[in-house]
Structure 1
Amino acid sequence: MAQRNKEELLRIKNIIGHLKGVEKMIEEEKYCIDIINQISAVQSSLKKLSDQMLEGHLNSCVKSAIKKGDDEEVINELMEVFKHRGK
């Protein structure tokens, strides 16, 4: 398994752990602001994972597609990604 995949899997496992922590906090009726802060931390971690995945995609798949002349398709694909990231 590539080093990049190991890092991504480790990051997602940490995110899952944080989500389970949020679930437990809700079950235990912890203070709302503490739960919100944990949710914000999960969202931040997800964004970092998304950024990491996008960087890997740009450095591998996109470079390869451009070399093959599939630049229009890959640009359209990336535009869709950026449209959804802003939501």
Structure 2
Amino acid sequence: MTKHAQSLKLLNTARGQLEAVIRMVEENAYCVDISKQILATIALLKRANSVILKKHIETCVKNALQQGDFENKLKELEEVFRYMERIL
């Protein structure tokens, strides 16, 4: 099992939901129903991102800290959090 197995499962579920949303739009489904499905897909993507970042901290950041190379990992995380602030 890969370290990203949980995220991969969430992403595959999100892909299925997105495909369903596309079908709903193509079939002119009710707008509110489409919106709810889009929001559900976004929630899955957010969860997948959180799991990936948690694994990154548990593995890559931890290893960098043990090797004394923590500064670069901290800058990477700061960049990701700044990006998240802009889009979320």
Is 1:16–2:15 an aligned residue pair?
yes
RCO greater where, 1 or 2, for CA within 8 Å and sep 6 or more?
A: 2
What is aligned with 2:68? 69
What is aligned with 1:41? 40
Displaced runs of 4 or more, over 6 A: none
Q: For structure 1, which runs of at least 5 residues remain unmatched after alignment?
A: none
Q: Determine what percentage of the aligned residue pairs are the same residue.
A: 36
What is aligned with 2:79? 80
Q: CA deviation at 1:45?
A: 0.5
Query: Quick one: distance in 1 between partners of 2:16 and 2:75?
Result: 34
Give the TM-score normalised by structure 2: 0.92
SS in 2 for 1:37: helix
Question: Alignment RMSD, CA only?
Answer: 1.0
What is aligned with 1:26? 25
